Amino acid sequence: MLKKDLGLLTLIIVVGAVVAIINPRFLSPINIANTANLVGLFGIFAIGQGFVIITGGIDLSVGSIIALLGVVFVDLIANHGVPWPFAVLVVLALGMVMGTVHGLLITKLKLQPFVVTLCGLLIYRGIARFYTKDATAGFPFGVSFPDLEWITTGRTDIVAVLTGDTMHSIPIPHAFFIMLVIAVIMWIVLHRSVFGRYLYAVGKNEEAARYSGIRTSRVIVAAYVISATLAALSAVFFAMYTRSILPSGHGNFYELYAIAAAVLGGFSLRGGEGSIVGVVLGAILLQVLQNLVNLLGIPSSLNFAVMGSVILIGVIADQQFLLYRERNARKRGRQRAAGPAAAAAE
């Protein structure tokens, strides 16, 4: 697991170094801060997707959730005068409900995750467009939410704060901080908690997990709740980041970014494999690649093609590495077994 993450980190550094050499603007404070902001925005819901993928499922509804709940959030605070902390809670609660519905459809009605969340993708997108009558949702002129804006789109130069403004470094976007906090919490949940262990067990062999006394349905529902709730949180951040939401296009394909980040991060779509560090590194690599397309003057139409190629190469390399390791493990196992017996025979 750790080796995989190190490999990915190395890849990010190598790609970053190459881009930096060709175009030094890559390392400019403003570019780093902007990239970090995007890593934060995309990282939050990619972590959620990771939980679902570990169970062997998939959540295709993420992009549409971001659009629908973004529209709802903007409408609540801009047009209905709902206090924003309350609106955030409403949006998170809606996300939880959506996740619960997905999870229950999958575990109780035994529908396939792909089908359930594909329907979610279509339904939420449709509702979002209907909700605004296909118009752009935004804030009326002069309406502003300084606290909310500070939290979601603000940037803080930590060095400046700590040294009382005598020294300066790069101002870090808050979205990135929040993503890191979520990553730490979710790292504990996935890698240290009983629930996390059950996620791995369910993803590897649901039947055997059930026979081990694990309530597999609960574990699976929880994974979808986590994914949809983190998508809801992202919805707030994206709404404040773009400030106006075109419901037909906002968040399109975002679920695929999340899946790509997870796959790059070493998750297996068959379930049972993956780590938080991996998915965060995956999200970073994706944004670095986007950045690379811009900075190296590659036509932006090739954006997806670059991303796809890197993922493909990464997955192939990973697969080959795995095969190699398995062969070695078998060899070692045989040697271990033969060792004592050979010694006894002598």
Is residue 10 a contact residue for another protein (CB under 8 A)? no
Is residue 243 a contact residue for another protein (CB under 8 A)? no
Q: Which residue, 279, 269, 276, 282, is CA-closest to 311?
A: 282
Q: Provide the Cα torsion 116, 120, 123, 125; round to 10°.
A: -150
Is residue 205 a contact residue for another protein (CB under 8 A)? yes
Is residue 2 a contact residue for another protein (CB under 8 A)? no
Q: Which residue, 131, 117, 111, 136, is CA-closest to 258?
A: 117
Taking CB under 8 A as the criterion, the residue among 142, 146, 213, 299 binding another protein is 213
Is residue 333 a contact residue for another protein (CB under 8 A)? yes
Taking CB under 8 A as the criterion, the residue among 14, 188, 302, 313 binding another protein is 188
The least distance separating another protein from the CB of residue 11, rounded to whole angstroms, comes to 23
Q: Which residue, 305, 314, 304, is CA-closest to 262?
A: 314
The least distance separating another protein from the CB of residue 182, rounded to whole angstroms, comes to 16
Q: Provide the Cα torsion 129, 130, 131, 135; round to 10°.
A: 50
Contact 307, 289 (CB under 8 A): yes
The least distance separating another protein from the CB of residue 198, rounded to whole angstroms, comes to 8
What token pair was written down for 111?
Answer: 């529908």
CA distance 95 to 108: 19
Closest to another protein by CB, 146 vs 213, is 213
User: How many residues lie near another protein (CB under 8 A)?
Assistant: 33
Is residue 204 a contact residue for another protein (CB under 8 A)? yes
What token pair was written down for 194?
Answer: 């009983």
Q: Where does this chain bind another protein (CB under 8 A)? A: 188, 192-197, 200-201, 203-205, 208-209, 211-214, 272-273, 326, 329-330, 332-334, 336-338, 340-342, 344
